[in-house]
Homo-oligomer: A and B are copies of this chain.
Amino acid sequence: MQTHSSSNASVPDAEISDAAIRSLPQTLRHRRQQLAQQCSAPIIFWSGNPHSRNFPANTYPFRASSHFLYFAGLPLQNAAIRLESGRLELFMDDPTSASILWHGASPSRSQIAETIGADADYPLYRLKSFTEHAATIPVQDAATRLQQSQLLSRMMTPANGLQGIDLDLAKAIVHLRLIHDPAALAEIRQAAAVTVKAHEAGMATTRTASTEAGVRAAMEQVILSHTMTCAYSSIVTVHGEVLHNDRYPNPLQSGDLLLADVGAEAETGWAADVTRTWPVSGRFSPTQRDIYEVVKTAHDVCIDQAHPGVEYRDLHLRAATVLAAGLVDLGILRGRAEDLVDMDAHALFFPHGIGHLLGLDVHDMEDLGDLAGYAPGRSRSDRFGLGYLRLDRPLAPGMVVTIEPGFYQVPAILNDPDRRAKYQDVVNWERLAAFSDVRGIRIEDDILITPTNAEILTAALPTDREAIETITQG
């Protein structure tokens, strides 16, 4: 048994905590010293610039590049840092008088340099004298990518086609960011604690809300009220079978299950990612209860078996086997669970992977393609039941991953003639029809791999069916 210890971190009412700010220089120094051991080239990270929404002055909320956040610690706009042999140099402009007039007083560059422990600081225009032989990672906004391309005299594209020193840098970053240090874990715990409160609010609101939008709003209210933001577009839907669903128009009806996949992101960028599925009426139907227990078992087994050295891919297959066995017990599938998984029959109902890396990105380092998710020499499978797996590495202490098994009745899968033909004999379609009130169930938690087992960072939010019914009923 792993320690199901709860992350009882107190929820921050202020933004970046004083303690985190005080220890920031040491945290950052340690990170760049580790990076220097992997990568001898000078390195520049750009923070990026806001994206315009419908006109230039109306921008989306700014999100600094995750690599910048990892090594600079603060969500600075239009800034860059240069790392070489453990030194940190900050490049950004002081606030202009117009900026102070409209945006209020903000720290000067030298104050920020002190906060992050920079060895030197310069106005941004000076960066061009410091670019020789520098490696970098392209940011997401096109304007900054153009600056990167111009200053480094090579084309920066947002894709994952990194080469040369940039590819070497990306590999070094993966090496570091895979294993979270205490400062990172403290931030993830804060995001997880707020996420737990958001889900509790969502369950409690279901009694009075009339639409998906009402529950989503109540959940995001909790996140915003803690000066956090959403780490990704919330999924709050009675159509859990639509896996990527970012609209909220549907009314809540008493026989529905509501699937909520909502996670907070701390001001420093660190994310949480949690899914719960609960009954609108406050009580699961017998068929919903049956499937919920199968998914819950898969969830619990994966977390129990998540130890250092275990292959994450094996957890995925273990979840698939538990699901298949559960569906055999319910009469939905026929055969031996292992054989069903070998033929990918589980993927008819569980077409995604068991989870992914979690950190500064909700799919951590996915801007680097599969470089972080897949160990060197490994690549995506073309199997229906494995191809969507985002992570294929052995687990190691300090990794944070999600565990998120699910059961879905996706019409595009179940009505596909080829699949129906292939799986004709192993699916009892008549029996399946009795479970039509189970469109989608997912149970997702965030776990930290410890030296001996796994700690559930989101354990304060129950997964037990009865406990969820209790919160939902108030």
- Which residue numbers of A lie inside 8 Å of B, CB to CB? 13-15, 51-61, 63, 65-66, 97, 100-105, 140-143, 158, 209-211, 213-214, 216-218, 220-227, 232-233, 239, 241-249, 269, 351, 360-363, 365-367, 410-413
Contact = CB atoms under 8 A, between A and B. Distances in A.
A57 B366 contact: yes
Contacts of A366: 55-58
Contact of A218 (B209, B221, B351): B221
| A interface: dominant SS | loop
A103 B225 contact: no
Contacts of A361: 54-55, 58
Contacts of A14: 249
B101 A413 contact: yes
A53 B140 contact: yes
B217 A55 contact: no
A241 to B, nearest CB: 8
A72 to B, nearest CB: 14
B101 A351 contact: yes
Nearest to A228: B213
A221 B211 contact: no
Among A56, A57, A225, the one with the most B-chain Cβ atoms within 10 Å of its Cβ is A225
Given A103-B244, A239-B104, A54 B360 contact: yes
Contact of A224 (B51, B100, B213, B232): B213
Nearest to A233: B61
A350 B31 CA distance: 47
A200 to B, nearest CB: 15
List the 9 closest pairs (A to B, CB-CB), nearest first. Answer: A142-B142, A104-B242, A217-B224, A217-B225, A55-B367, A221-B221, A51-B51, A55-B366, A52-B140
Contacts of A66: 54-55
A249 B227 contact: yes
Given A51-B51, A58-B362, A217 B211 contact: no
Contacts of A269: 54
Contacts of A214: 225
A364 to B, nearest CB: 9
A351 B13 CA distance: 33
What is the oligomeric copy number?
2
A98 B66 CA distance: 28
A103 B243 CA distance: 6
Given A101-B351, A213-B227, 18 more contacts: A15-B247, A51-B51, A54-B65, A54-B360, A54-B361, A58-B361, A97-B412, A100-B412, A102-B243, A102-B244, A104-B242, A105-B411, A216-B224, A217-B220, A217-B222, A220-B221, A221-B221, A224-B248
A438 to B, nearest CB: 16
Contacts of A218: 221, 225
A269 B53 CA distance: 11
A246 B61 contact: yes
Contacts of A51: 51, 60, 140-141
Contacts of A246: 61
A167 B100 CA distance: 34
A192 to B, nearest CB: 18
Contacts of A226: 213
Contacts of A360: 54
Contacts of A365: 55
A209 B227 CA distance: 13
Contact of A242 (B61, B103, B225): B103
